Amino acid sequence: MRFLTGYTGRARLGILYGAAIACFFFALSVQGLRVSADTGDNFFHVFLNGEAVGTAASKEDAQDALKEARQVLARGKDELYLASCKLSVEGEYKVLGLVSPEDDVRDNMVYVLGENRRQTYERAYTVKINSYSVNLASSDEVLTLLETALYKYDTEHEYRVDLITDATREVNVLTPRVTSVEEKRKEQEKEEALPEAGIFAEITESLSDIEPLITEKDFSDYDLGLQTIDFSDKVEIVESYLPASEITPLDEAILEVTKDLERNQIYEVKSGDTLGVIADNYSLSLADLISMNETLKDEFSTIRPGDELIVTVPRPELTVTHVEQEYYEEDYEAEVQYVDNDSWYTTQTKVLQEPSAGHRKVVVTVTYDNDTEVSRDIEKAEITYMAVPKIVERGTIVPPTYIKPLTGGRLSSGFGRRSRPTRGASTYHKGVDWATPVGTTIRASSSGVVAKAGWGSGYGYVVYINHPDGKQTRYGHLSRVLVRAGQSVSQGDKIALSGNTGVSTGPHLHFEILVGGVQVNPLEYLN
């Protein structure tokens, strides 16, 4: 205050008062400087996550600054940015105070949020195919994935994939729609064409009522190749935000969706099938086919038409159904024609006419699921020259069957060469022996007429039975015969009791089967 010396007291007071007024107006001109006569909190220190980011004139200004900071972080990004965000404001009363510029507060908040980032969630698209799902980075990648699967069969790119909203779902779910590029072009041309008017419109309408003249198509009239194509699996696409680690690279997703995987499928057995043929058709080993089906015990298990077996087929995650129209020429065989002979057994056949192949031209419509043919319909067939069928005469009588003639018994001697068991016995055994106690019931192995019943040299008591298929059975070393020559017997009828008569080393049944008068191994004929 030395500069005020020499002034009177009244003059000094006037100078100080003027200086105060000048400072007040200067303060008003300084940006951020606030002067207030209020007595409440009018000056606020702003903290974000415990760090000071500046001062504000009100709590609302602090909140607006945080909103702008969030917008800065999100601007121009397809990702969801997560960060710790705890805003606190401490107020106080000041007559005169300096408030931070709004841009500075916002920029400080952007920095703090960046330092406190927890995780970034990126925009992604989840593609669900039945129970399988994969996450991709963009809708363009989704289209690329689907078109890659489609274009495996649409090599000319005649169809395109669009993503449309699934109207059947309440939530926002996209689904693919496959449309023909040609049809889409025609629809667009039709929309752009000027509407007909006057007499031209009347002529067009009258012509539309005329039935077209239907003529048979020639082979050149067919539009061969791809007819229709679509996805047969339900495909859903949902937009979401996911960590980058959960998003699959496009090339990996394409491989996962389009590669063939072994999947179980039910196969219905058809007439003529064998386990070996079925296994070969599905590229399985016989052992694998048996292990997959509990009903199969081994390679000799019986299968019948209509039986269902589990097989594996290669199939990708996404199934593409496509319909192709194809032309080909082929040699073909006519169906075998049969002439029934009611006096022959079903084991008897005779070829009356040898076959020769024919030739034909064919247009077919074939439906495929991926590479597997589902159905085939002949649209047109033209025979160049006819096939000659094979004609076969066949019997209709079911031949008799043969059963073991006794219950139990131990096989004590097989058919064929052997050491002589006792004096007078043959070294070539012409039947089979079952050791069994004397008096065991012996039954007819098959239906027929008794040719001999009584004593036979070497056989002891013996029974011969002639059967309708020309075979004969013999039962030797019996203790008692219960039938007589000329008597008809049915399979399983009681004909004798076992014994130890004739040339025999102990109680047993000797059993023979003769074909054309010659003994054969009976075990090869027994059911």
User: pTM here?
Assistant: 0.50
DSSP letter at 317 equals S
Pairwise CA distance, residues 182 & 189, whole Å: 11
Pairwise CA distance, residues 115 & 110, whole Å: 9
Quick check: 259 pLDDT over 60?
A: yes
Fold (topology level) of 261-315: Membrane-bound Lytic Murein Transglycosylase D; Chain A (3.10.350)
pLDDT (mean) for 56-66: 90
Nearest alpha-carbon partner for 239 in 124, 122, 81, 74 = 124
User: What does the pLDDT read at residue 26?
Assistant: 47
Nearest alpha-carbon partner for 404 in 507, 475, 453, 500 = 475
Side-chain half-sphere CA neighbours of 242 within 13 A: 16
Mean pLDDT of the chain: 86
At 310-327, the pLDDT tens digits run 987 777 889 999 999 999
Quick check: 127 pLDDT over 80?
A: yes
Whether residue 309 contacts residue 278, with contact meaning beta carbons closer than 8 Å, is answered with yes
- The Cβ of residue 487 has, within 10 Å, a number of other Cβ atoms equal to 14
Whether residue 296 contacts residue 289, with contact meaning beta carbons closer than 8 Å, is answered with yes
Residues contacting residue 203 through CB under 8 Å, at least 6 positions apart? none
203, two tokens: 């002529």
User: What does the pLDDT read at residue 134?
Assistant: 95
User: What does the pLDDT read at residue 85?
Assistant: 80
For the chain, give the percent of residues with pLDDT over 90: 55
Greater model confidence, 428 or 338 = 338
Which of 201-205, 339-343, 363-367 comes out lowest in average pLDDT? Answer: 201-205
Whether residue 440 contacts residue 498, with contact meaning beta carbons closer than 8 Å, is answered with yes
Quick check: 180 pLDDT over 90?
A: yes
DSSP letter at 522 equals G
Burial class (CB in 10 A: 0-12, 13-18, 19+), 203: exposed
Quick check: 24 pLDDT over 60?
A: no
Greater model confidence, 167 or 9 = 167
pLDDT (mean) for 117-144: 87
- The Cβ of residue 504 has, within 10 Å, a number of other Cβ atoms equal to 20
Pairwise CA distance, residues 527 & 525, whole Å: 7
Greater model confidence, 206 or 158 = 158
Greater model confidence, 304 or 215 = 304
Pairwise CA distance, residues 256 & 135, whole Å: 12
pLDDT (mean) for 40-60: 88
At 386-421, the pLDDT tens digits run 999 999 999 999 899 999 999 999 999 889 877 666
Strands 320-332 and 225-231: antiparallel
Is residue 50 left, alpha or beta, with left meaning phi > 0 and alpha meaning psi from -120 to 50? Answer: left
* Domain regions of the chain by residue span: 31-115, 261-315, 323-397, 410-524
Contacts 24+ apart (CB under 8 A), 25-28: 27/96
Residues contacting residue 520 through CB under 8 Å, at least 6 positions apart? 415, 513, 514
- The Cβ of residue 26 has, within 10 Å, a number of other Cβ atoms equal to 10
- CATH code of the domain made up of 410-524: 2.70.70.10
Strands 337-345 and 391-397: parallel
Q: Which amino acid is at 449?
A: V
User: What does the pLDDT read at residue 120?
Assistant: 61
Pairwise CA distance, residues 93 & 96, whole Å: 9
Greater model confidence, 95 or 498 = 498
Selected from 3.30.930.10, 2.20.230.10, 2.30.110.10, 2.160.10.10, the CATH number assigned to the domain covering 323-397 reads 2.20.230.10
